[in-house]
Amino acid sequence: MNAGLIDEFSIALSPVLFGSGIRLFEGVDAGRVALEPVHAEPSPRVTHLTYTVRER
């Protein structure tokens, strides 16, 4: 993402009540990259999120 090669993210987020999880954006330079929310569609078991990647 820091290289500017990604235009959009589509993420299916399903909450888990146990475990440690995964950091999706570890190492991203927040000073250079911003995520703009485009769409969120909730359902009983998963939330579908779409973000556009923008330069700061």
- Read off the pTM: 0.74
pLDDT of residue 27: 84
- Rounded CA-CA distance 9/1 in Å is 10
Q: Residues 5-43: pLDDT tens digits?
A: 889 999 998 877 777 777 788 888 888 888 999 999 999
Average pLDDT over residues 36-51: 95
11-42 b/e (C-beta count within 10 Å ≥ 16 → b): eeeeeeeeeeeeeeeeeeeeeebebeeeeeee
- The encoded tokens of residue 9 equal 């993210």
pLDDT score at 51: 95
**Strand ranges for 1-56 from DSSP E:** 8-13, 33-42, 47-55
CA distance 10 to 20: 22
pLDDT at 39: 97
